[in-house]
Every structure is written in structure tokens, then in C-alpha cells.
């Protein structure tokens, strides 16, 4: 493997003392990454959940090339451009009805921060002091100070704890104990918080934890009853992951504010949007400049990224991705079934195209380094998988073929023989 070791690059989520090298990828196509030395990796986690159809989708690449003939970054205050205008109209039509305004930014963390600022601005401009955020246990919303605050506290963010603000945390709706979550939400809502922030149907970085659509619908109902804003973080769930275009659709929920990022350009370029209901936009309308929404990213509504997103929506409009997602859901379900009663694993689960299972690991032993050990094991077999602790998950791009998925699940079974509790 062509491992790059001498490099000034400080990589994300990497302990360089334990992972000194990185595989240098020279080419990506479909479900595959190819290293400089020709070694290939099946990208079974869609390059950290951003790639949807597959790497370098031809129509998206073509749209990017074409847009570069016209525009690069353009100031977006006082000026606008057709890619941003067209994309906003398309997104309003595509997302749950009532999300009528689109605010552009460039990453998942940023679009969640924007959502939180919109919520606080909404209440302040209405003359109510409401600043507290309610969030789900095990949630993840990004790595900036603001989004770490609403996310689960862990060793990953312990050093920054003094800077993190307090939130009201409600328990994850474990199957059979959903009422505890709803009761906790109701109690939290009585304290007049500004908003509830949730990852709809599945908590990603928290360990691919799945919960029921009717619980999501009930959470929305409670928020509406108490006048608490409901913010859906669809950064990971958006664009087909859960089997529908957006996760909220399955619960019939229209969020007050929704965040979309990862799959918006098909994964080709960084772009994010925060969409909101009319009343949130209108709360910021005033002859007083101080009531404006004071937020901007340098690369807000980047025209090339917007063009990529428009091409992505055109691809969805053909109906082909929805058919592929449906087929992939079946393929994933079939392959997961063989692990349902496998004693080496617990909690084999699936939502849409995502499957996850927890490897039963001997007490103590591997627990601290299991994810790294597993990752190396899979990499050596030409598979890009990146377990979350002992949780192995499969999150492939939609172009993946049945035989390719078989490689993944055979390797997972082999890994259990090497690293499982009974080994
Ligand atoms: C990845 C993720 C984010 C953060 O997105 P970035 O683009 O990495 O900043 C926020 N929320 C959820 C649910 C995510 O999965």
C-alpha cells in the first residue's frame, strides 16, 4: 500500500501516533477508490456519508465543468446568481411543504449553527427570551463549538468542555421505551426552550441508532403543542439514505427548520442549506437593521457547488436513484439477515440503505482500539469501512453491486472470527 507517512498534513479524527500513514488515493469512480500504486478500495461508507450515487457521477462532473465557464465565487449579499436562485426554488419544491426559505452555507456543522441562530433570532425578534436548546442523547451535529455543545459529550470533546453551552438532553428513544423520551421532551418544553434539535430516524455518529417514525412524529407534535421550534438535522439522512429522499417524510413531519448538506451535491462539492418556514424568515423582517439575520460564510452559495447540486437534483428527477435506493434497501436487508441470529453480533439493524451491527467484544481487551483494528483489517482486504467503536456499519453509494456487497459482508463475518468475544 502506498502509505504517505512524511507529510505536513494534520488529518481529521486521526491519532497520528497510532495511525502515522494515510493511503494516497489517485482516482475515484463509482463505488471504488484507487490508490497511487493501483490498490483499490470499495468505499462502503460513501467517503464519510457524502457520496450518494457514486464517485464522480458524470452529469454532476459535467455541470461543474460547465459552470466554471461562467462563474466562480460571487458576493451573495446584494448580488445573486441563477444557480443559487434555481436551486432554492427546486429545494423549496422538493422538501416538505412549508420550508419556503433557503439559507446557503458550506458544511453540515455550519448549517446546523445557522439553524440554531435562526431559532434564537426568531424568539428574540418576537420579544421572548428563549435561548435553551433541547437535544437527543447520543446526538451528533458537527465539530464546531456550537454544534459540539448540542451533541453528545464524549472523550472527543472533553478538552473543550469549558466552552460548551448547556442544553436540555432527553433520552434516546430506545425501542419499547419511547414514552420516556416523550415525557422528558414534554417536561423540557414546559421550561420554554427555543427549539428541539434532532437527527430524524437515525443517529449517525452516535452509533447508527435507529428509532421509530411515529416517535419522531410525536416529538414534532409535542413541540408544536408547546410552541417550541422543531429543527431537523438531515445532514446525514438527506438524499435517500433512509429509503426516502428525506427522513422526515416517513414520519409525515414538516420541520420548522431543516438542515441539509452531505448529499446535496451528490457529494462532489461542499454545499449546505438551512431551510425554514415563512414565520422564521418574517420574524427577521423589520425596518430595524439589528433584526436582520447576521450570518455569512465566505463561500455562501458558491455557484459551482450550486450547479453541482442542480445537476444532482436533475439526476434524482429521472427516478433512477429512487429505484436504485429501493433495490439497495433489499440487497442490504438480505445480507443483514444472515447476522440476525449470529451470536458474535448484537443489534443487527437497518434503516434504508444503512445497516449496522455491534460486534460482541471480550470485556476490556480490544474495546479501546477495536475500531482501529477493524479498520486496518478491512483496509487490508480492499474495503473502506470505519467502525464506530465495536459498531460495524455499511453505508454504500447507490451504484454498489450485489457482488461488491458480498465482499463487505464476508469480510465482516471474517472480522468477527478474528476480533469477536468468542475468538
Ligand atoms: C456529518 C454531520 C454533521 C456535520 O457535517 P460537516 O459537514 O462534517 O460539518 C452534522 N450533523 C450530522 C447529523 C452529521 O452526520
Q: Which domains does the chain have, with CATH numbers?
A: 3-56+319-418 (3.90.1150.10), 60-317 (3.40.640.10)
Closest atom, ligand 1, to C-alpha of 108: 5
Task: Give the mean pLDDT of 143-159.
Answer: 95
CA nearest to 188, candidates 176, 199, 197? 197
How confident is the model at residue 367, as a pLDDT? 60
pLDDT for the residue 3: 75
Phi, psi dihedrals of residue 27, rounded to the nearest 5°: -155, 145
Mean pLDDT calculated for residue range 222-239:
98
Written as one string, the DSSP assignment of 2-29 is: -EE-S-S---TT--TTT---EE-EEEEE
DSSP 232: E
The response to whether residue 204 sits with its C-beta less than 6 Å from ligand 1 reads yes
Mutation probe of ligand 1 site: the residue of 261, 265, 297 with most atoms within 8 A of C-beta: 261
pLDDT of 87: 99
* 38, pLDDT greater than 60: yes
The whole-number pLDDT of residue 4 equals 77
Find out whether 308 and 271 touch, Cβ atoms under 8 Å. yes
Which atom of ligand 1 is least distant from the CA of 142?
4
Cα 149 to averaged position of ligand 1 atoms, centre (Å): 14
pLDDT at 365: 56
Q: Is 107 in the pocket of ligand 1 (CB under 6 A)?
A: yes
Give residue 232 CA to ligand 1 midpoint distance, Å: 12
Q: Which atom of ligand 1 is nearest to the CA of 139?
A: 13
Q: How far is the CA of 119 from the centre of ligand 1 (A)?
A: 19
Q: Is 238 touching ligand 1 by the criterion CB < 6 Å?
A: no
235 C-alpha vs ligand 1 centroid, how far in Å? Answer: 6
pLDDT given for residue 421 in this prediction:
81
Which atom belonging to ligand 1 lies closest to the Cα atom of 199? 13
| Average pLDDT of span 267-281 | 98
Cell of 236: 446525514
HSE, side-chain direction, 13 A CA sphere, residue 376 = 11
Residue 126 grid cell = 418576537
Give φ, ψ of 326 to 5 degrees: -60, -45
pLDDT value of position 122: 98
**Per-residue pLDDT, 257:** 99
Q: Which three cell numbers stand for residue 241?
A: 439514505
Q: Is 241 in the pocket of ligand 1 (CB under 6 A)?
A: no
- CB distance 236 to ligand 1 below 6 Å: yes
Q: Whose CA is nearest to atom 5 of ligand 1?
A: 108
pLDDT digit string (tens) for 124-143? 999 999 999 999 999 999 99
Of ligand 1's listed atoms, the one at least distance from the Cα of 203 is 13
- Is 211 close to ligand 1, i.e. is its CB under 6 Å away? no
**pLDDT of the residue at 162:** 97
pTM of full prediction above 0.95 = yes
Rounded to an integer, the average pLDDT of 106-116 is 98
Mean pLDDT of 279-290: 96
Q: Cα separation of 273 and 295, whole Å?
A: 13
Taken in order 232, 234, 237, 239, is the CA torsion positive or negative? positive
- Whether 6 shows a pLDDT value over 90: the answer reads no
Kindly state the cell numbers that stand for 41.
478500495
Element (H, E) at 209: strand 209-210
Q: If you measure from the C-alpha of residue 261 to the centroid of ligand 1, how many angstroms do you get, rounded to a whole number?
A: 8
Quick one: average pLDDT of 231-254? 98
Structure confidence at residue 1 (pLDDT): 59
- For ligand 1, say whether the CB of 261 is within 6 Å of any of its atoms: yes
Confirm if 142 and 49 have CB atoms less than 8 A apart: no
What is the pLDDT at residue 422?
64
Residue 112 has which C-alpha cell?
446546523
Which residue has its alpha carbon closest to ligand 1 atom 10?
141
Please choose from 151, 262, 297 the residue to mutate so as to test ligand 1's pocket, defined by most ligand atoms within 8 A of CB.
262
Q: Is the CB of 112 under 6 A from ligand 1?
A: yes
- Is the C-beta atom of 167 inside 6 A of ligand 1? no
CA–centroid distance, 233 to ligand 1, in Å, is 8
- Over the stretch 358-371, which tens digit does the pLDDT of each residue have? 999 876 656 678 99
* pLDDT for residue 234: 98
What string of DSSP letters covers 151-163?
SPP-TTTGGGGGG
Average pLDDT, the chain: 96
Amino acid at each position: 500500500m502506498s502509505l504517505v507517512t512524511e507529510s505536513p498534513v494534520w488529518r481529521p479524527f486521526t491519532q497520528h501516533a497510532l495511525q502515522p500513514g494515510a493511503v494516497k488515493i489517485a482516482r475515484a469512480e463509482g463505488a471504488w477508490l484507487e490508490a497511487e500504486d493501483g490498490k483499490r478500495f470499495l468505499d462502503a461508507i460513501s467517503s464519510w456519508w457524502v457520496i450518494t450515487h457514486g464517485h464522480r457521477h458524470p452529469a454532476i462532473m459535467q455541470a461543474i465543468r460547465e459552470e466554471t465557464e461562467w462563474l466562480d465565487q460571487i458576493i451573495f449579499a446584494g448580488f445573486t446568481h441563477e444557480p443559487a436562485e434555481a436551486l432554492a426554488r427546486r429545494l423549496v419544491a422538493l422538501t416538505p411543504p412549508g420550508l419556503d426559505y433557503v439559507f446557503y452555507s458550506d458544511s453540515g456543522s455550519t448549517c446546523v449553527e445557522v439553524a440554531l441562530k435562526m431559532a434564537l433570532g426568531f424568539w428574540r425578534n418576537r420579544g421572548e427570551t428563549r435561548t435553551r436548546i433541547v437535544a437527543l442523547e447520543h446526538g451528533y451535529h458537527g465539530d464546531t463549538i456550537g454544534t459540539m455543545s448540542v451533541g453528545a459529550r464524549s472523550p472527543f470533546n472533553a478538552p473543550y468542555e469549558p466552552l460548551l453551552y448547556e442544553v436540555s438532553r432527553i433520552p434516546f428513544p430506545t425501542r419499547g421505551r419511547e414514552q420516556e423520551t416523550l415525557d422528558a421532551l414534554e417536561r423540557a418544553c414546559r421550561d420554554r426552550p427555543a427549539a428541539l434539535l434532532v437527527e430524524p430516524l437515525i443517529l449517525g455518529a452516535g452509533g447508527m441508532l435507529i428509532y421509530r417514525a411515529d416517535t419522531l412524529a410525536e416529538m414534532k407534535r409535542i413541540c408544536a403543542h408547546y410552541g417550541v421550534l422543531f429543527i431537523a438535522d438531515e445532514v446525514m439522512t438527506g438524499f435517500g439514505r433512509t429509503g426516502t429522499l428525506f427522513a422526515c417524510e416517513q414520519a409525515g413531519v414538516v420541520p420548522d427548520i431543516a438542515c441539509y448538506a452531505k448529499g446535496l451535491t451528490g457529494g462532489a462539492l461542499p454545499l449546505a442549506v438551512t431551510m425554514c418556514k415563512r414565520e422564521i424568515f418574517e420574524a427577521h423582517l423589520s425596518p430595524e437593521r439589528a433584526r436582520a439575520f447576521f450570518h455569512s460564510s465566505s463561500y455562501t452559495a458558491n455557484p459551482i457547488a450550486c450547479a453541482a447540486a442542480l445537476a444532482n437534483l436533475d439526476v434524482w428527477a429521472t427516478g433512477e436513484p429512487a429505484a436504485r435506493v429501493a433495490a439497495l434497501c433489499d440487497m442490504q436487508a438480505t445480507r443483514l439477515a444472515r447476522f440476525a441470529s449470529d451470536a458474535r453480533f448484537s443489534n443487527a439493524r437497518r434503516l434504508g440503505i444503512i445497516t449496522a451491527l455491534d460486534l460482541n467484544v471480550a470485556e476490556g481487551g480490544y474495546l479501546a482500539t477495536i475500531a482501529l483494528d477493524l479498520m486496518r483489517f478491512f483496509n487490508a482486504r480492499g474495503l473502506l469501512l470505519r467502525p464506530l467503536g465495536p459498531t460495524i456499519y455499511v453505508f454504500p453509494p447507490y451504484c454498489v453491486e450485489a457482488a461488491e456487497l458480498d465482499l463487505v459482508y464476508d469480510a465482516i463475518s471474517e472480522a468477527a472470527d478474528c476480533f469477536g468475544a468468542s475468538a
